[in-house]
Structure 1
Amino acid sequence: MHQSGEQRLAGLCQVTEHLFLSNGRAANDKAVISRFNITCIINATQNITNTSTAEVEYVHIPVTDSPSSPLSDFFDEVADKIQLVGEQCGRTLVHCNAGVSRSATLCLVYLMKYHGITLLEAHKKVKSCRPIIRPNSGFWKQLIQYERKLRGCATVTMITSPVGEIPDIYEEETKDMLPL
């Protein structure tokens, strides 16, 4: 989906008709929440910054942005919630502090589970609307394991690089940035 300047400025990206991704600042901006008709906020941080209201349901997923955090414990719960909100004509905003790792990971899971696309396709879709996404290596391992569970195979693999284990798609991104 094409992002309007207003959405980019708000730190908000629209992933699907009813799924949005942002940083913590945008998720706590009542004007942004109202403008985009958000009815559910999923906060993937350790901090509780919001509480449910009559207009907006609030779900807290208490995880740190650490490769050892068991974010996969929440994959199905979050994906199912996003789908349910969408079926009820609502809109979900998933956020973490920066909108880069935890929240992006949860959006990738939703796309794989409910849109039937591969991890590679899900990453391309989310990255096209929010170019700064970059799940940490531990979350990538969990995403790859989840894709294997869903599809029986994986479209992304972890490789060794000078900075440690990274998903192979980061290697391609790095090559694209190198001078010829």
Structure 2
Amino acid sequence: MHQSGSQRLAGLCQVTEHLFLSNGRAANDKVLISKFNITCIINATEDTKNISTADLEYVHIPVTDSPSSLLSNYFDEVADKIQLNSKHCGRTLVNCNAGVSRSATLCLVYLMKYHGLTLLEAHKWVKSCRPIIRPNIGFWKQLIQYESKLRGCATVTMITSPLGEIPDIYQEEIRDMFPL
């Protein structure tokens, strides 16, 4: 599926044949939901806006976008739901308010668990679909721990930078911000 740059940034983007990622606005756009044949919405926000219908299942994951939020409590539940939905030829849309942190984190988990990707590979994949993804630091730590549980090792580590603790994959961005 070819997506324009503005569609990838602002709206709904396709991660796999059966997985989509978006912000809250796109997740509530009935035209988009219909256009992409979405059958399940996983809403990772504090708000619950249950819009389940006969054709659309709605799952609410009640988390805030805070480094102290335990999104990892929902990792397997969400990944398993996306996989089950795809086995039944369904299409799942994962959203949060901005489509940047919570929903992106959940998409990374799914790719690690069901597509066998490392965290580093999953991040590159999702970032290529939606360049603005940026899980918060707490979610990165939970992702690293989850990858270690799945694979026995981690492909991303936390490092100290002038901005505080960050995943090492952001090291290049920091160098650009603070040249020698």
Question: Which consecutive aligned stretches of 4+ in structure 1 deviate over 6 angstroms post-superposition?
Answer: 177-180
Q: Which residue of 2 aligns with 1:125?
A: 125
TM-score (norm 1): 0.94
Q: How does 1:123-162 map to 2 (within 5 A)?
A: 123-162=123-162
Once residues 9 and 98 of structure 1 are traced to their aligned partners in structure 2, the CA distance between those partners, rounded to angstroms, is: 10
Q: Which residue of 2 aligns with 1:90?
A: 90
Q: Which residue of 1 aligns with 2:3?
A: 3
Once residues 128 and 47 of structure 2 are traced to their aligned partners in structure 1, the CA distance between those partners, rounded to angstroms, is: 28
Once residues 131 and 176 of structure 1 are traced to their aligned partners in structure 2, the CA distance between those partners, rounded to angstroms, is: 17
**TM-fit CA distance, 1:10:** 6.0
TM-score (norm 2): 0.94
Unaligned runs of 5+ residues in structure 1 are none
RMSD over equivalenced CA pairs, Å: 1.8
Once residues 172 and 55 of structure 2 are traced to their aligned partners in structure 1, the CA distance between those partners, rounded to angstroms, is: 43
Q: Contact 1:40–1:92 at 8 Å: present in 2 too?
A: yes
Amino acid at match of 2:108: L
**TM-fit CA distance, 1:173:** 3.2
Amino acid at match of 2:109: V
Once residues 176 and 15 of structure 2 are traced to their aligned partners in structure 1, the CA distance between those partners, rounded to angstroms, is: 24
Q: Which residue of 2 aligns with 1:24?
A: 24
Unaligned runs of 5+ residues in structure 2 are none
Q: Which residue of 2 aligns with 1:67?
A: 67
SS at match of 2:139: helix
Aligned residue pairs total 180
Q: Which residue of 1 aligns with 2:106?
A: 106
Q: Which residue of 1 aligns with 2:42?
A: 42
Percent of matched pairs sharing the same residue: 84
**TM-fit CA distance, 1:161:** 1.1
